[in-house]
Structure 1
Amino acid sequence: MKKSIIIALFLFGVFAQAQSKKWTLKECVVYALENNISVKQSELDLEVADVEKLLARGNFLPSLNIGSGVSENTGLSFNPVTNNAQTTTFLSASGNINVGYTLFDGLRNIRQLQRSDISKLASQYRLDKMKDDISLFVANGYLTVILNKANLEVLQSQNEVTKEQIERTEDLVEAGALPRGDLLEIRATDASEQQLIINAENNIQISLISLAQLLLIKDYENFDIEDEGYDVVDTGIADKSISEIIASAKESRSEIKIAEQNVELANVDLKIAKGANLPTLSAFFGYNTRFANTTSFAQQLDPDNPISTQQIGTVEGTGEAVVADFANTILTEVAADPFINQLYQNDGIGYGLQLNIPILNGFNVRGNVQRNKVNLERSKFQLEQAELDLESTVYQAYVDAKGSLKSYEAAKTALESQQLAYDYAKERYDVGLTNAFDFSQSKLRFDNAKIELNRAKYDYIFKLKVLELFFGIPATELKF
């Protein structure tokens, strides 16, 4: 009984710990990279690239094929051993081994191997880009949850102040120091704040569900994140020049690497297409044998009368007959040779070289070459466009980060001013020098300043991290 209680308490503790687990940003990013469907699809593309490389390597190996067949013939058929037409029923079998090897094919096998290496590298870059994008989505969703939680804390803390003001105003109204309208104004403010709190709680839940869906976590009710310890952490990226960030982005970003590999792929495809203009030389070797169980007929000496004498002519002048001895043969039926004996008696070998020289093929090769030339030029333009797009994106991210920093600093200054205004309004309200409406308006501006500071803070954090990603810092190494 005691042992069962201990086990139950242990399981309850494990369950409670699982229920209260809060995910950090790094845990969310790592989990998303391991479970996100888009990442898994990109990983499958990488596996397909491995298959393409295996096939390209196989082009350097000889081909080996073994074939066999068994058939039964009834009626008039050709004997595969004697090649004679026979009207009978017989069983026949055949077997062959063929080996082929390409000695030269216009270097296309070498180009295919080069292409498979480039294709695998391009797939890896696409996977890296997908991981960067997913990490950015997770970070944005995570910071959205933190922002909503921070806004809820602001609303709840300010509502506590409002409730205190309600209690104090009730006392002053009962004492006749304040009109009853001030109490109604404060209560209206409390009702509005309660509504904002409910909306903020809903925003938190919605943002948590969105983040959980991005992570493919189905337990929405128990999913929560660690919302402590996240602040503005500048690793020095804000002090770097835009040209330095763009240069680093061109060296590290997957967008440029993918476009560069596409140019390489188009270049190799053009070489493969040109290789079709060259002759191909291949070697072959074949071995075959056959068997049939049908009987055959053979001429044999008559055992009873092996020699017969026949006249073959006469002597001119005397008329004497000229005779000769001939073998006296009879037609006899011979059984089929044993299976093993026929295999080596009826076998054959063939080998040689085959040369194919392309002369005229309906302009197929020429058209394919021209098509690949166009694709090469298109991929070069795409690389140039990718560089321009990256420059524009990085420059936009740089401007956004600078602008969000200014907005964040302005929000801090505005909060300080609203704090002073609120404190002043509170002091005046406490001594009865201002009414409840003016005080509630000052408090509302103070609340909005806090919320705006939260928004500006996390907006700056996110845009700062975007800039760090462009600079080449891995998503899992970003500091908050």
Structure 2
Amino acid sequence: MKPQMLHLRRAAWLLLLLTGLAPVMQAQTPSQLPSPFTLKNALEFALAHKSTVKKAKLDEENSEHKIAEVRSRALPTVTGTGSLTYNPVLQLSAVPGDLAGQPGTTLLIPFGQKWNSNAAIALQQNLFDQSVFTGLKAARTAQEYYKILSTLTDEQTIEQVASNYYQVLVQRQKLVVIDSNIATTTRVKNVIEGQYKNGLARKIDLDRTRVNISNLQAQRQQIFNAVQIQENTLKFYMGMDIATTIDIPAATFSEIEPSLQLADARPDMTRMTDYQLLKKQETLLHFQKDAVKAEYYPTLSLNGNYGYQGLGNKFPIGGSKPAVNWFDYASIGLNLKIPIFNGFATRSRVRQADVDIKKVKEDLKNTELSLNLAYENAKAQISNSIITLNNQRENVQLAQEVYENSRNNYNQGLAPLTDLLDAENSLTTAQNNYSSALLDYRLAEIQLIKAQGKLTSLLN
């Protein structure tokens, strides 16, 4: 029976282990990711898993606890105390002998009891403290500050993920181009190889095609490595495990329709997240100044306590008269603190707060100029990228026509192989340049959307 019980326990433990880990394993399974993995999927994944986004959300959550902490200063404070003291040797005090009918002598008399116990409860309530009211306002503003900071973190994450996502796309597009060129060149090589066997082509032409294929394969390996590196970078910005497999479609670029309509909507710079964050920081600095000025105000608090004390020559707890004497006591009072002079320390701190406020005002001016500059530069960049994109698209069409003509001429014996290889290389270069132009357009589009404060629109 014992071996059977041992097997049952192991089986039960394994079942618990598997059922406990099942949700985690399911969450990390690459097959659970959508395929194809679109930009929207990447952004949603990043906003749910990136550590910087999570930390910003935790800061936002922590601001609520800070408000509760400041609010506690306006609530009463209640404390309880208790003590038990045993005096094995009582201290002697000198008293005149006249008190005992022995004039001219000094008597040493022990005062106190062998046992002393005490239990008390104390209450303190602030009735007026200007710093408490200021702190409550500042805490609420700090909560708003962290909300804006969390929004800014989301926008920065969206920008990073979108930029890297498009860079993966362009590398994948280049991989598609090089694979197509390898396939085309391989077909040409097979034709020349057949012609060479029949004595209709030169060996040097066959060797040239083989060298060209070898060069293309080397380029493909470089592009493939670039795809892997760029994908790993994208996964990092998404907060994804590097080992996770994602399926990013290379065909997305064909859906791009360049447009200047995005540049028509000029944003209100005062509504940008960066600007709002500084404005909220300015408000916090004003509250900081008010908190320092609160030191000029008096404070008033209510104090009260109630206690119970037991004295005797025997252990007091549970004891009664005459061996132990128990009695209670209570007190209520007001504490008023009026600041009179502290060596101008408060005045100096107020002036320091004024300087900090002036500095953040300058930051606001500089930020507004910077946001306007970013918007104008983004407009110019997207305009230039559209022109370049259209030119590169025409170059691809022209290079394709040249390649088709060169291939026909070569097949008819009207052109040498070098013309065909040159046309093929020109087509590859034009296609790669077009892919790079598409990337530049997308990156410029992201910067323009960022300059307009609409990065979250990429989630739609």
How would you bin the TM-score normalised by the shorter chain? 0.7 to 0.9
Q: For residues 299-329 of structure 1, what are the alpha-carbon distances to aligned partners after superposition, in whole Å with 9 as ceiling and x for unaligned?
A: xxxxxxxxxxxxxxxxxxxxxxxxxxxxxxx
* SS of residue paired to 1:217: coil
Q: Secondary structure of the residue that 2:247 maps to in structure 1? A: coil
RMSD: 2.7
Q: Residue 119 of structure 2 corresponds to which residue in structure 1?
A: 95
Sort the Cα spacing of 1:337 and 1:51 in 2 relative to 1 into closer, same or farther, 3 A. farther
After TM superposition, give the deviation of residue 260 of structure 1 in Å. Answer: 0.5
Q: Does the CA contact (< 8 Å) of 1:183 and 1:436 recur in 2?
A: no
Confirm whether residue 348 of structure 1 aligns to residue 329 of structure 2.
yes
Q: 1:218-247 deviations in whole A, cap 9, x for unaligned?
A: 352633334444555569763543xx4342
Secondary structure at 2:243's aligned position in 1? coil
The structure with the greater share of residues assigned to helix is 2
| Correspondence for 1:36 | 50
Indicate the residue corresponding to 1:277 in structure 2.
296
Q: Distance in 2 between matches of 1:236 and 1:416?
A: 21
Structure 1's 283 and 147: CA in aligned 2 closer, same or farther, altered over 3 A?
Answer: same
Which residue pairs with 1:212 in the alignment? Answer: 235
**Secondary structure, in 3 states, of the residue corresponding to 1:285?**
strand
Q: How far is 1:19 from its partner?
A: 9.1
Q: Offset at 1:368?
A: 1.2
Q: Which residue number in structure 2 is paired with residue 54 of structure 1?
A: 68
User: Residue 111 of structure 1 aligns with which residue?
Assistant: 134
5 Å-filtered alignment, 1:394-409, equals 394-409=375-390
TM-score after normalising by structure 2: 0.82
- Which range moved further: 460-469 or 404-413? 460-469
Match of 2:266 in 1: 245
* CA-to-aligned-CA distance 1:99-139 (integer Å, 9 cap, x gap): 2222222x221111111111111111111111111111111
Deviates more, 1:255-264 or 1:433-442: 433-442
Aligned CA distance change for structure 1 residues 19 and 121 (closer, same or farther; 3 Å): closer
CA distance in 2 between partners of 1:152 and 1:50 (Å):
50
> Aligned in 2, Cα 1:26/1:85: closer, same or farther, shift over 3 Å?
farther
Residue 86 (structure 1) aligns with: 110
Report the CA distance shift for 1:271/1:437 in structure 2 as closer, same or farther (over 3 A): same
Residue 260 of structure 1 contacts residue 383 of structure 1 at CA under 8 Å; is this kept in 2?
Answer: yes
Equivalence for 2:214: 191
Give me the TM-score of the superposition, normalised by structure 1. 0.79
Would the aligned equivalents of 1:469 and 1:475 in 2 still touch at CA under 8 Å?
Answer: no
Query: Conserved in 1, the CA contact under 8 Å of 2:298 and 2:338?
Result: yes
1:142 corresponds to: 165
Structure number, greater radius of gyration: 1
Which residue identity lines up with residue 389 of structure 1 in the other structure? S
Answer 1 or 2: which has greater strand percent: 1
- Paired position in structure 2 for 1:10: none
Q: Which moved more, 1:469-478 or 1:455-464?
A: 469-478
Task: Compute the displacement of 1:175 (Å).
Answer: 4.2
| CA–CA distance in structure 1, aligned partners of residues 115 and 384 of structure 2 | 90
Distance in 2 (CA, whole Å) between partners of 1:144 and 1:85 is 94
Residue aligning to 1:447 = 428
Q: Is the 8 A contact 2:116 2:310 kept in 1?
A: yes
| Residue segments in structure 2 that go unaligned for 5+ positions in a row | 1-28, 94-107, 315-319
Is the counterpart of residue 475 in structure 1 residue 429 in structure 2? no
Matches of 1:109 and 1:237 in 2, distance apart?
A: 53
1:376 & 1:78 partners in 2: Cα distance?
Answer: 64
Match of 1:425 in 2: 406
Q: Structure 1 residues 394 and 151, CA, compared in 2 at 3 Å: closer, same or farther? A: same
- Whether the 8 Å CA contact 2:115–2:313 is kept in 1: the answer is yes
Determine the structure 2 residue equivalent to 1:9: none
The corresponding residue for 2:6 is none
Q: Retained in 2: the 8 A contact 1:208–1:220?
A: no
- The verdict on how the C-alpha distance between 1:88 and 1:250 changes in structure 2, with shifts beyond 3 A counting, is closer
Superposition map of 1:339-378 within 5 A: 342=326, 345=327, 347-378=328-359
Deviation at 1:379, TM superposition (A): 1.4
- Residue aligned with 1:358, SS: coil
Q: Please state if 1:156 is matched with 2:152.
A: no
Q: Residues 375, 73 of structure 1: CA spacing in aligned structure 2 closer, same or farther, 3 A cutoff?
A: same
SS at match of 1:132: helix
Which residue identity lines up with residue 438 of structure 1 in the other structure? D
Unaligned runs of 5+ in 1: 1-14, 296-334
Aligned to 1:308: none
Q: For residues 259-278 of structure 1, what are the structure 2 equivalents within 5 Å? A: 259-278=278-297
Q: Aligned partners of 1:368 and 1:436: how far apart in 2?
A: 83
CA-CA distance at 1:270 after TM superposition: 0.8
Residues 122 and 74 (structure 1 numbering): CA distance in 2 closer, same or farther, change over 3 Å? same
